[in-house]
Structure 1
Amino acid sequence: MALSANLFLRQNQSLVMTPQLMQSIQLLQMTHLELTQFIAQEVEKNPLLELPSNDTEMGNERGGAEDETYPHQAADEPQDDGYDSRAEILSGDWYESGNSAGASRLSDELDANYANVFPDDGVPQRADAPELISQWKSMPGNGEGTDSYDLDDFVAGQISLRDHLAQQLPFVLPEMADRLIAQHLVDQLDEAGYLQGDAIEAADRLGASVHDVERVIVALQTLDPPGVFARNLAECLAIQLRQKDRFDPAMQALVSNLELLARRDFSTLKRLCGVDEEDLLDMLGEIRQLNPKPGAGFETGMSEAIMPDVVVRVGSDGGWVVELNPDTLPRVLVNQAYFAKVSKSGDDHAFLSECLQTANWLTRSLDQRAKTIMKVASEIVRQQDAFLMHGVDYLRPLNLKTVADAIKMHESTVSRVTSNKYMLTPRGLFELKYFFSVSISAVEGGDSHSAEAVRHKIRTLIMQESPDAVLSDDDIVDILKKGGVDLARRTVAKYREAMNIASSVQRRREKRALAKVAGF
């Protein structure tokens, strides 16, 4: 068989993932903070990108600006500098050499203040009490055009747990060797204030005796906050009870059997502690007042406020109005005038062309991102109309495919859009993922139910039960079946444990004990 070279023409389709396409996909799942940081980095790298200022936004609202550029004021536009009115003042007999009030009259006539001719040389006055500035206009720092006070100057610095403990060490450990051991133990604390290290290991590492390390630990357990340097929860509670002088034998037995307390085994606890039911409930009340994580109050993590990406409100016609939150929509401007001016010189034309292409891509990507979020949110509102009107009991089962087919997009796109995005509704603030839940079949072919709605029904049934009629998981299954929900017993138990709800035996013990104390 002879070999020969042939030329064939073939046509096929393929998806090429360019870097810009991959970046556009990543923009969909970015949060507001991440997107703001990304745009700030792009503005810093690209000389053609600009962030709109307040003046630019006001100009766009009033008269409109050039396409994606700043509005410019005409050079020959007349300006009112007040010269005519000032000339009228100067034309009058305003100077009186014999009048002692001439200087004050001059100041009033010319609207000038000669108290400080060179204001830059003086030290700016700061507000003594910034919380009263809005009430007292004469307070220093409240004048317009002056530098406002820095609020950080009035905020107390946050102190960490280690710094707080280091300030107390000299009072309980006068010896320098003990302080070195204590400093090593301080470094072994976790965020909750528990000691993670071992006394034997610390003694081997520091070259000290185990007795000295244990003695230092006992001294450190007397520091503030109470319960710090404990090795476990029982020891943490015991330390706090000792400082309150409430660690009697009965309380010691209760703290030593916390696993029985978790199971609500009150009969065994009464026998071990040697107390009656009323005293046991009083002891449980004291346990609840203790802090199981004494070091948690010194965490320096910043809490971020959640800003909704979509706002849903009731329209005038009774329907729902879906709007994008303008505060979470970053805007960038492409300075076309600067590109046209610089590109005329011919220098770095290739660089500027690439910057212009990148800037146009970013504006289109942000616009496409906003439109995609709007489409997904509008479809979610249409699907969950009953939830917005009547509450969580009417939450419909919904999946990504249903929304994707309705708006003619891929499921992965809908998943990226709903990731870390929030919707503000008349019923509260919800993550977009909240509206997607699995479907639970109904009895005899009825409408399916949402898993979140079923969990809400289970929680409501348990909250409404009485001490003499505590519902078991089988009872909850029967009640749900009467309501049209076909659910297995193991699924009820799984939902109950996920909501941190105790079993029927434990709830019955606790509610009966509380009812006896209350006198019911």
Structure 2
Amino acid sequence: MAISTKLEMRQSQSLVMTPQLMQAIKLLQMSNLDLVSYVEAELERNPLLEKSEGEGTSEPVSDQPSDSSDTPASGGEEPGSVDWMQNDLETGSEAIASRMDTDLGNVFPDEPGVPASPDPALLKTGDSYKNATSSSASEDYNLEAFVAEETSLVASLEEQMHLTLSSEADKLIAGHLINSLDENGYLYLDLDEVADQLGVDIARLEAVLAILQTFEPAGVFARNLGECLKLQLIDKNRFDPAMEALIGNIELLAKRDFSALKKVCGVDEEDLVEMIAEIRALDPKPGSVFGSSLVQPVVPDVFVRPANDGTWAVELNSDTLPKVLVNQTYYAKVIKTARNETEKEYLVESLQTANWLAKSLDQRARTILKVSTEIVRQQDGFLTYGIEHLRPLNLKTVAEAIGMHESTVSRVTSNKFMSTPRGIFELKYFFSSAISATVGGDAHSAEAVRHKIRQMIEAEDPKAILSDDTIVKVLKDDGIDIARRTVAKYREAMKIGSSVQRRREKNARL
């Protein structure tokens, strides 16, 4: 075969990751607090951006090109000119949406992904692209990111929670209790009200709380001082009947009524002195060992309220949406007084960045609302009846329903919170795995199956203990296709013993 050179023409399509598109994607996955900080920085950097705070001389951004009288004379479609910029922006939100719906990967500096291709328009405007990319790189490089962060009480407990609990519903309950602790680690909540709010049984709530009370530091999740001391003594294996009597009469210790304490505890003076020394060695404020840290309140991005027609009304939290205006009047004034091409290029790039930021913020808000509305539609049972009615849901289901890509839905659900009648939840909490049905029908949520297994075991007859095979047969009769090893995995995750262990325990109670 002869080797020769030849010329060929090929037509292909490729996604050009411009800095503006990267900005739009980055805005999409920012939390509301990060977004506010980012917009504030842009307001300081860009002279054509203004806050939208009532009536003023600023004009909101429009999808239509601005009047030619406000633009400098330029040669037709010269890249970098205002005419080119407006023609590019005519596609508006649809262009951004179509690009976002493509699997873009991770396009940020600290993650591997699609390399950003230079914008041809910026390449022809001298060093502007180089300056833009170098400035953004320097902004992302933050020396404070290399400083070790002090672990907070909430972070420590959440880490232990994920290692201990496997049920998503139990994690939701535990997360609510963790975020309700005060700075000293105490839990001042009415459990009946919490159970009603979350839609779970009080027994299940107390079971989760009992597990949380075994976490480090010992004594957290106590409802009062006596329970705090009791938990620490249990952790030290020193909670005997005498100590229990001392903790139960802690007010006598406060009064220094040692004679009454010796009678109540049934010990002599020497033992009482040792017991009091042990009590004094305990920490009455276990949560304070983590120090005081800035508590950042969770501000919901979306509100969900019952509508008059029996459905759910979904609306964005306008307080978390920064609003910016592009001052076209100021641009038209200063562009005429530009002294050289460098100043004109700076003004054109500022106007282009301002318009793109305004459109990106609008597209971000629309996308969050669209994804949240679909999540509410899918999880109507959870909002109506509680955690046990969570439906199996994944990113693909939501993405197909709203006509977007999974990567877009994933970014939208990161660091976004939804306020519902049952509390504030992160959008990612509404996604759970599924277990298929035996003969057609809808799939079953893994959490619902766990709850059914727990109910079956709790209601079993001590003389007829259910084996894992029997549970599998019962579930398949109910239309749930599940393997025996999966039943065993769920049972062990719920801290439920095998059929042999349960038979021994229940026979011992009889």
Query: TM-score with structure 1 length normalisation?
Result: 0.50
Question: What amino acid maps onto 1:435 in structure 2?
Answer: F
Match of 1:67 in 2: 60
1: CA distance, partners of 2:6 / 2:334 = 52
Question: What amino acid maps onto 2:336 in structure 1?
Answer: K
Match of 1:402 in 2: 397
Q: Structure 1's 346 and 390: CA in aligned 2 closer, same or farther, altered over 3 A?
A: same
1: CA distance, partners of 2:504 / 2:382 = 36
Superposition deviation, residue 293 in structure 1: 11
Superposition deviation, residue 466 in structure 1: 8.2
- Do 1:312 and 1:322's aligned partners in 2 also have CA atoms closer than 8 Å? yes
Larger radius of gyration: 1
Match of 2:236 in 1: 237
2: CA distance, partners of 1:499 / 1:386 = 23
RMSD: 4.5
What is the 5 A alignment of 1:152-301? Answer: 192=217, 237=236, 296-299=287-290, 300-301=292-293
Superposition deviation, residue 313 in structure 1: 2.1
SS of 1:30's equivalent in the other structure is: coil
- Do 1:383 and 1:396's aligned partners in 2 also have CA atoms closer than 8 Å? yes
Instruction: Give a deviation string over 1:321-345, Cα, whole Å, max 9, x none.
Output: 2211212222223233333333332
1: CA distance, partners of 2:392 / 2:235 = 45
Instruction: Give a deviation string over 1:226-246, Cα, whole Å, max 9, x none.
Output: 99xxxxx999716898x9699
Question: What amino acid maps onto 1:332 in structure 2?
Answer: V
1:38 aligns with 2:38: yes
1:325 aligns with 2:317: yes
Q: Structure 1's 293 and 411: CA in aligned 2 closer, same or farther, altered over 3 A?
A: farther
1: CA distance, partners of 2:500 / 2:283 = 26
SS of 2:418's equivalent in the other structure is: strand
Match of 1:207 in 2: none
2: CA distance, partners of 1:477 / 1:455 = 12
Superposition deviation, residue 346 in structure 1: 0.9
- Do 2:48 and 2:327's aligned partners in 1 also have CA atoms closer than 8 Å? yes
2: CA distance, partners of 1:14 / 1:512 = 70
Superposition deviation, residue 13 in structure 1: 0.8
Question: What amino acid maps onto 1:385 in structure 2?
Answer: D
- Percent identical pairs in the alignment equals 58
SS of 2:404's equivalent in the other structure is: coil
Identify which of 476, 483, 490 aligns with 1:488.
483
What is the 5 A alignment of 1:79-158? Answer: none
Match of 1:442 in 2: 437
- Note the residue ranges of structure 1 that are not aligned, 5 or more in a row: 70-157, 160-190, 194-224, 228-232, 248-286
1: CA distance, partners of 2:463 / 2:36 = 57
Match of 1:230 in 2: none
1:373 aligns with 2:358: no
1: CA distance, partners of 2:460 / 2:453 = 11
Match of 1:26 in 2: 26
2: CA distance, partners of 1:343 / 1:442 = 66
Match of 2:448 in 1: 453
- Do 1:226 and 1:240's aligned partners in 2 also have CA atoms closer than 8 Å? no
2: CA distance, partners of 1:301 / 1:240 = 33
1: CA distance, partners of 2:319 / 2:506 = 48
1:312 aligns with 2:304: yes
Question: What amino acid maps onto 2:326 in structure 1?
Answer: V
1: CA distance, partners of 2:505 / 2:355 = 65
- Do 2:438 and 2:476's aligned partners in 1 also have CA atoms closer than 8 Å? yes
Superposition deviation, residue 453 in structure 1: 2.2
1: CA distance, partners of 2:404 / 2:11 = 26
1: CA distance, partners of 2:22 / 2:49 = 21
- Do 1:226 and 1:294's aligned partners in 2 also have CA atoms closer than 8 Å? no
Q: Structure 1's 379 and 508: CA in aligned 2 closer, same or farther, altered over 3 A?
A: same
Q: Structure 1's 41 and 406: CA in aligned 2 closer, same or farther, altered over 3 A?
A: same
2: CA distance, partners of 1:402 / 1:439 = 12
Identify which of 321, 336, 348 aligns with 1:344.
336
Q: Structure 1's 312 and 504: CA in aligned 2 closer, same or farther, altered over 3 A?
A: farther
2: CA distance, partners of 1:446 / 1:236 = 48
Question: What amino acid maps onto 2:380 in structure 1?
Answer: D
Match of 2:170 in 1: none
1: CA distance, partners of 2:294 / 2:503 = 41
Superposition deviation, residue 411 in structure 1: 1.4
Question: What amino acid maps onto 1:298 in structure 2?
Answer: V
The aligned length equals 314
Match of 1:414 in 2: 409
- Do 1:332 and 1:363's aligned partners in 2 also have CA atoms closer than 8 Å? yes
Instruction: Give a deviation string over 1:396-422, Cα, whole Å, max 9, x none.
Output: 322222222222221111111122222
- Do 1:237 and 1:292's aligned partners in 2 also have CA atoms closer than 8 Å? no
Match of 1:278 in 2: none
1: CA distance, partners of 2:478 / 2:347 = 67
SS of 1:433's equivalent in the other structure is: helix
Q: Structure 1's 448 and 302: CA in aligned 2 closer, same or farther, altered over 3 A?
A: same
Instruction: Give a deviation string over 1:17-52, Cα, whole Å, max 9, x none.
Output: 122222222222221222222222222322222334
- Higher RCO, 1 or 2 (CA under 8 Å, sep at least 6)? 2
Instruction: Give a deviation string over 1:475-497, Cα, whole Å, max 9, x none.
Output: 54344334322222321232244
Question: What amino acid maps onto 1:429 in structure 2?
Answer: I
Q: Structure 1's 450 and 244: CA in aligned 2 closer, same or farther, altered over 3 A?
A: closer
Superposition deviation, residue 364 in structure 1: 1.0
2: CA distance, partners of 1:333 / 1:315 = 33
1: CA distance, partners of 2:283 / 2:479 = 43
2: CA distance, partners of 1:511 / 1:302 = 49
2: CA distance, partners of 1:48 / 1:512 = 79
Superposition deviation, residue 349 in structure 1: 2.7
Q: Structure 1's 237 and 365: CA in aligned 2 closer, same or farther, altered over 3 A?
A: same
2: CA distance, partners of 1:331 / 1:471 = 60
